[in-house]
């Protein structure tokens, strides 16, 4: 692969992507365990979740996965997954041997197709609920949508579900600011990133457009993360876009396939693992992010 264009403080001159696994159909939901040193990701189309590590290589985590997409850890260190085919948010107990439903309906109607999920330090789960799993046969099950909106939800530790925003076209990736006072949510059909303030009770205000994701190549706003310096990383046309703390475009980590999601991991939490259609890639960076471990 060709060397990447350098990005100040993010990608050094001459650095290349490396392919760590391939042969999939539609990879998504990258999640790194910093203590056990494995990567979890989903192949939505094939309804399989995998783990990968340098030591053990590729292993099946769960099959079938109900066309699972995004993943995160909860406060107990369990994997939480968004399922497109079932329209559910679930938690994996005992290493994936048992799966329990956390959320499936809002006000008596099925969720659309939970897409991406994050956990804050209070144990609250925030997730997006676009309609993709009902609109595309390769990403879910074709069926009518029961809800009249595509929203963002918060699931509290007592498992009460709260709608926090309902005016997105198709909400997708989301991440918290490092101090957890703000929530960034992107809209694949925007194609924009919106910024909300989080109130003490977990409600949101604001929601203005913070940045627009555009450029050459295949891809839309999808996965999203923040590094320790407040820079936002977001999938977009041609790869992973890097934005400054004030929303200015700084550069792009180019991928040979449409990129869908990513996470920081590896030594020093400085390797970026990128899911991209049929393959998973890794690239060494000059930066890092908070570990994806809300129990720490």
Give the model confidence (pLDDT) of 14-40 as tens digits. Answer: 999 999 999 999 999 999 999 999 999
pLDDT at position 224: 98
Q: Which of 233, 34, 47, 209 is nearest to 141 (CA)?
A: 47
CATH number at residue 122: 2.120.10.30
* Alpha carbon distance 240, 225 (integer Å): 10
pLDDT at position 296: 63
Range of the domain at 210: 28-219
Q: Which two tokens stand for residue 189?
A: 């059909």
Tell me whether residue 278 is in a domain. Answer: no
φ, ψ of residue 204 to 5 degrees: the values are -115, 150
pLDDT at position 109: 98
Asked if residues 271 and 38 have their Cβ atoms less than 8 Å apart, the reply is: no
pLDDT at position 94: 67
pLDDT at position 150: 98
Tell me whether residue 63 is in a domain. Answer: yes
Tell me whether residue 208 is in a domain. Answer: yes
The stretches in the chain having pLDDT less than 70 are: 94-96, 296
φ, ψ of residue 132 to 5 degrees: the values are -55, -40
pLDDT at position 146: 98
Task: Kindly state the DSSP code that residue 141 receives in the 8-state scheme.
Answer: -
Tell me whether residue 61 is in a domain. Answer: yes
The residues, ordered by sequence, that sit 6+ positions from 247 with a Cβ below 8 Å of its Cβ are 193, 210, 211, 232
| CA distances to 17, 143, 148, 180, 258 from 280, in Å | 10, 30, 35, 29, 11
Whole-model pTM: value is: 0.97
Tell me whether residue 214 is in a domain. Answer: yes
* Alpha carbon distance 113, 147 (integer Å): 11
Tell me whether residue 264 is in a domain. Answer: no
Tell me whether residue 231 is in a domain. Answer: no
How many Cβ atoms from other residues are within 10 Å of residue 35's Cβ? 9
Total domains present in the chain: 1
Tell me whether residue 149 is in a domain. Answer: yes
């Amino acid at each position: 692969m060709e060397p990447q264009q350098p990005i100040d403080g993010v990608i050094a001159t001459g650095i290349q992507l490396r392919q760590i696994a391939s042969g999939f159909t539609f990879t998504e939901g990258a999640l790194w365990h910093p203590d056990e040193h494995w990567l979890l990701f989903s192949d939505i189309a094939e309804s399989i979740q995998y783990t990968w590590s340098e030591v053990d290589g590729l292993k099946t985590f769960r099959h079938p996965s109900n066309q699972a997409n995004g993943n995160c850890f909860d406060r107990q260190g369990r994997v939480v997954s968004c399922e497109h085919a079932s329209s559910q948010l679930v938690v994996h107990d005992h290493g994936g041997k048992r799966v329990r439903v956390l959320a499936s309906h809002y006000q008596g109607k099925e969720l659309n197709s939970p897409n991406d999920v994050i956990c804050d330090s209070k144990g609250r789960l925030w997730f997006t609920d676009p309609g993709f799993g009902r609109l595309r046969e390769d990403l879910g099950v074709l069926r009518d949508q029961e809800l009249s909106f595509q929203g963002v939800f918060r699931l509290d530790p007592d498992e009460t579900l709260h709608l926090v925003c309902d005016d997105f076209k198709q909400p997708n990736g989301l991440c918290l600011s490092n101090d957890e006072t703000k929530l960034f949510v992107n809209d694949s059909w925007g194609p924009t990133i919106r910024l909300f303030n989080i109130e003490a009770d977990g409600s949101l205000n604001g929601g203005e457009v913070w940045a627009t994701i555009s450029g050459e190549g295949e891809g839309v706003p999808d996965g999203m993360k923040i590094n320790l310096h407040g820079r936002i990383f977001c999938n977009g046309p041609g790869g992973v876009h890097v934005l400054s703390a004030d929303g200015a475009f700084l550069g792009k980590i180019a991928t040979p396939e449409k990129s869908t999601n990513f996470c920081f991991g590896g030594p020093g939490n400085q390797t970026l693992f990128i899911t991209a259609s049929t393959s998973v890639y890794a690239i060494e960076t000059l930066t890092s992010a908070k570990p994806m471990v809300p129990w720490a």
